[in-house]
Amino acid sequence: MSVKRLHVMFDDDDILLDAVKEIVKNKIYIYEVYTPFPVHGLDKAMKLKPTNISIATFIYGCIGFTVAVLMMYYIMIVDWPQDIGGKPSFTLIENIPSFVPIIFEMTVFFAAHLMVITFYMRSKLWPFKKAENPEPSTTDDKFLVDMESGSNLSKTKTMLKKMGAVSIKEVKE
């Protein structure tokens, strides 16, 4: 019996979570789960790796910090030092107190925007991108598991029904 692809629909997040745990326990491969809101614990149940986006954000923040310091060092100290209100302008270290606000702002600017851009790129979100959820109701109140049928289709179906699936659809790949 050939392995088929199933679209299994649930109508409750708790039932979905238990079902996903059961499917994983039976060693059936889950392609994807579509939910209308973040179901807490779903990523762990699906054994998804934790996201590294916050580490990336820290690096982006460091880049912003460096860019800000280098920019102001070049502009205010190297290229055209000026005496402004008697503030020391001949070395970076003496002039840095008045650079703090902009260093902070640029750190946040780089961290926030590059993080969001990374998120959009990694999750493939941009204008004119076509949505990929197979059923439109998964943004409303339904939960869809896109999975393999396993070697024994009828056994899998009984298991899913027992777990509370609302509908099971076989899809052609």
Where does this chain bind other proteins (CB under 8 A)? 13-14, 32-43, 46, 48, 50-51, 53-54, 57, 71-72, 75-76, 79-80, 82, 84-85, 87, 89, 95, 98-99, 101-102, 104-106, 108-109, 111-113, 115-116, 119-120, 122-133, 136-141
Closest separation between CB of residue 29 and other proteins, Å? 14
Report the first-to-last Cα separation within the chain, whole angstroms: 16
- Answer for the pair 20, 42: CB distance below 8 angstroms, yes or no: yes
| Nearer to other proteins (CB atom), residue 122 or residue 155 | 122
Closest separation between CB of residue 28 and other proteins, Å? 16
Closest separation between CB of residue 80 and other proteins, Å? 6
Closest separation between CB of residue 166 and other proteins, Å? 13
| Nearer to other proteins (CB atom), residue 125 or residue 151 | 125
| Nearer to other proteins (CB atom), residue 2 or residue 124 | 124
Closest CA to 21 of 52, 55, 45: 45
- Answer for the pair 50, 80: CB distance below 8 angstroms, yes or no: no
Per-residue tokens: 30: 């889950």
**SS3 call for 126:** coil
In 10 A of CB 81, how many CB atoms?
14
Closest CA to 60 of 109, 101, 104, 128: 109
| Nearer to other proteins (CB atom), residue 95 or residue 149 | 95
